[in-house]
Structure 1
Amino acid sequence: MRAGLARYFLSFLLFLVGLQGEEVRAKVVYVKVADLQELTGKPVYVGQRISVQYNLMLFSKAKFLGAELENLPDPKKLKRLNFTPNWVASGTDSYSATYSYKILGTKATIPALRVSAFVQDQGYLDKSSAPAIPLQVLDLSAHPNYAGVVANDFSVTGYKVKEYDNANNILVLELQTRGANLEDFKIPGGFKQGFESSHLGTDDASGVYYCIVPKSLQSLSFNYFSLQEAQFKELHFSLIPIEESVSTQSNLKPKNNLLLFSNIFLMALLLVVVVCYFLTSYKNTALVVAILLVGVLLWNILSTYRTGILRAQAAIKILPTQNSTLLAIPKEALHVKIIGEHAKYYKIMTDDEKIGWVRKEDVE
């Protein structure tokens, strides 16, 4: 019995000694959330993209080994946008990294982050953790006219309404955003809609968006949520077909300023040559130069556009892509001007100055 008590007492002393040995080891790595107060002190919104910056400091010539989340976020509540953030030196023995997330649910929590460092001459491994961050998340979907986008900046840089078929018009919007979840954009109302093209960067995003609307609808509006002003902002559009332009339908009457100025210059030069013909003895030379200038001028005027015949039932599209939205399908062959080209497509202008993209094989 005494022997058992002695062994227990000895084990307890060794345990205390071990604790004291650990206590004398100073921390060599420390990590914290740089913007913790901002993240916990104000609401965020479903769909919003947020960034969490961590600052790390090393001591006693420790070497940074790495960082990892202690738990993976719930994929229904929080989406990771960068899986391997770079830790960038921000000073002597100090580093920083930014973790990016997209909020998907109202119970989203930023996971705790654990970092580790190693002191080689002491054979000592140390770890430090930044705590999990519960977020104050608000869901904006209850707003009846909400288009699903929260943004620092949201603008429609151009729009166009055209006839789509006997019952519907097509609205085409050119969107430009900053700090937004543009990929979630959807106009309320159950319309057929979608992106024709998009560029979804980490901060700036843009896209060309179409929406098929009934001709009986005279106007359309939607709201996005402004992060700058912390309120909904409404955008309103007339659905009466107009000749506004966006990038995919730009230049309804294409102009070439360089060609215009060159023609003016050629006419002025031609006038000078004519004067020289009558006032100098170099008549033959002036006549040859005049003929050449007239030829160049006629070439510029007559070759501004190529022309062709667009076959009947050929698809005229918004963009030069296979899955682009149809603008029109002519029942009869059309005379068109070819004002541009891209890959297997021509950009054409019809006699009534409508612009679209068609397959090259559909033009003779």
Structure 2
Amino acid sequence: MKNERLAKFLIAKHVEAPCDYKELDLGELWRVHDKLHHTFTRLWSEVAKGEITLESTSSPRCSFLDVKVEIARRVLSSCVFCENRCRVNRLDGERGVCRLDYKTVVSSYFHHLGEEAPLVPSGTIFYGGCTFRCVFCQNHDISQEYPYPGVVVDAKGLAKIQKELRGTGARNINHVGGDPTPNTHTILESLKYLEVNVPQIWNSNQYQSAETMKLLVDVIDLWLPDFKYWSDECAERLSGIRNYREVVTRNLKISIEHGDMIIRHLVMPNHIECCSIPILEWISKNLPRDKVVVNIMDQYRPEYLVARYPERYKEISRRVTADEMAIVYREAERLGLLYGVV
């Protein structure tokens, strides 16, 4: 955050790739990608330890980042960026759960002062579209309604936004929404045109596909995932998502191997026993405590469909109580988790 380390995407640009990568089929391209991932990991480690400087390495004509961009572009023709796995051809204008074709919509961008303290001021970019259908969404205007408010940006335009945010004092670039996942292709390509050293944050619902995780782990510096539910029944009923626990826990384990993490858990009324407590227990047993902070959030309020139809969603039609929050705090303390309160 303080320019003391190189952002990973800059290192990915220095990993040489074969320049015939566009001629390969997708399976061959993934094999090249996976081989380059190992090369990247070695270079990243050497740079982090001070054993080598990036300036001492060559800047190849074709890079690991180029390969990632090409794979992401091809994924659009049968989209599996998230685990909804809609397989629609977004290049031809088809839309799946996220309601986006290939174009990326930026609803707003600014220095966010309300994020976790170590991240502030955070250069936050809000994207249109989301892979969830949360009935209580506070950003439903940009995540679930179509057409989305905002402007269409291409990769160069997105790089320009990031450069502007960094140049005016942002400590990082915070990709959020909605959810950034449907915009993976534009975000990756924007890094080709971004030359300033700025950490990249992936602020998401963590419902990315395994393929998308492979594309992201070599360019994302800090993960800022939501962990909303433990109960799959709750996830399907309130966010329209299947296999939530399996997907999110898998992605959390992958993420923590490739960067630091702040997990956000939004405490919801009447979901302490079914969701909050087992989530904290899982984190304590499965993730290294020296690399994870849990942000226990009390900002839930009945919005969107819950506000319109409170009888339909009666158990979450109120704010969380102080007693409910106290139960969650005590559990985090009992488990020895490093947690914050927002």
TM-score range, shorter chain: under 0.3
Structure with more strand by fraction: 1
Whichever structure has more helix as a proportion of its residues is 2
Point out which structure has higher relative CO (alpha carbons under 8 A, 6+ apart): 2
